Amino acid sequence: MSEIRNNTVLSGVQPSGDLHIGNYLGAIKNFVSMQNDYKCFFCIVDLHAITVKQDPKILKKNTLEVAATYIASGIDPKKSIIFNQSSVPAHSELAWIINCVTRMGWLSRMTQFKDKAGKDKENASSGLFIYPNLMAADILIYKATHVPVGNDQKQHLELTRDIAQKFNRDFNCENFFPIPEPIIDKDISRIMSLKDGNQKMSKSDLSEYSRISLLDESDQIIKKIKKAKTADTVMPEKIDDILKLSEVNNLLNIYSGFSGLEKQKLIDQYKGKTFSIFKSDLSDTLVERIKPITSEIKKLMQDKHYLLGILQEGRNKANEVAKKTINDVYDIVGLLRNET
């Protein structure tokens, strides 16, 4: 274990409000299991959030809410470094250098930009276009070796690897930036909408019934699962048949993610049974697992002072590492930093 502890993990969650079980299963839950084995940096990426319009007052509250969610989910601020991105200036400083390393062609292949910018690309912020460069800076500033991400961020991580390699090569500093490895939980990293199994669960979906928020009360959870789309059959017994029913497959992934039971085990248990039986057990599990997290988030949100203290402590620790890297980068690139 001590050997692994030399490896560094960095990941980030955007404070864009209403964290849901997709964020939890796809990201935060995995963070928790890593903190004994790696040196961990868990960032709240507020600078990424403002690549699209945010209400300034709500953004601050959302930033605290992500910190509260991290802690309520089991991230221990004594073991892991929790901080918000904008409080460590070296992220932005390195991002600029990376803007000058990344090629336009690389960025224009990013599918997330195409999705997020939608039809009106001319009107998207330039920040949204260079978003992946800032993400690469988040990772490389701590020389992270491993990055737990959802499937949708895989392309950005590949770009980060290309950036690290190009920097090392262009500036003749082999091994300066480690080439980070993604950690992707294939089974559950993509939690889909409860209404449409082909769409990702998203906070921007207009329907509340498409997602379960980590702040939902138990009766809301039960109601949402009751309304969730399934199929006009019973639970199939073959995984191939289940995969054809994307909404059912998604509910099984959610069940497996929260119960810790293997999907195949759940299929064996529910095959041939009606979906109402399955849903009722699923609701029970969700309520049992989510309720303690929800109440802890709410409790922590009452104690702003405590949360600010955690973020400050995290910032100080992160700054120490980040400053060293950015000083080395300035030196490598030939920027004169006339400091005493």
Active centre residues (catalytic) = 116, 200, 203
Residue 147 binding ligand TRP, by CB under 6 A: yes
Nearer to ligand TRP, 125 or 264 (CB): 125
Nearer to ligand TRP, 30 or 294 (CB): 30
3-state secondary structure 19-44: CEHHHHHHHHHHHHHHCCCCEEEEEE
Residue 20 binding ligand TRP, by CB under 6 A: no
For the bound state, the minimum distance from the C-beta of residue 60 to ligand TRP, rounded and expressed in Å, comes to 18
Nearer to ligand TRP, 147 or 245 (CB): 147
Residue 153 binding ligand TRP, by CB under 6 A: yes
Per-residue DSSP letter, 3: H
How many chain residues bind ligand TRP (CB under 6 A)? 12
Binding piece for ligand TRP, criterion CB under 6 A, among 59-67, 132-140, 224-232, 314-322: 132-140
- The residue of the chain with the least Cβ separation from ligand TRP equals 12
Q: Specify burial of residue 124 (Cβ count, 10 A radius: 0-12, 13-18, 19+).
A: middle
Residue 139 binding ligand TRP, by CB under 6 A: yes
Binding piece for ligand TRP, criterion CB under 6 A, among 64-72, 75-83, 131-139, 284-292: 131-139
Residue 48 binding ligand TRP, by CB under 6 A: yes
Among 9, 10, 81, 252, binds ligand TRP (CB under 6 A): 10
Sheet of 39-44, strand order: 81-84, 39-44, 8-13, 146-148, 181-183
CA torsion sign for 88, 92, 93, 94 is positive
For the bound state, the minimum distance from the C-beta of residue 139 to ligand TRP, rounded and expressed in Å, comes to 5
Which residue, among 2, 18, 74, 3, has the nearest Cα to 42 in the 3D structure?
74
C-beta separation of 47 from 284 below 8 A: no
Cβ neighbors of 189 (< 8 A, separation 6 or more) are 25, 26, 149, 150, 151
Measured from the Cβ of residue 101, the count of other Cβ atoms closer than 10 Å reads 17
Q: Which residues sit at the interface with ligand TRP, rule CB under 6 A? A: 10-12, 14, 45, 48, 135, 138-139, 147, 149, 153
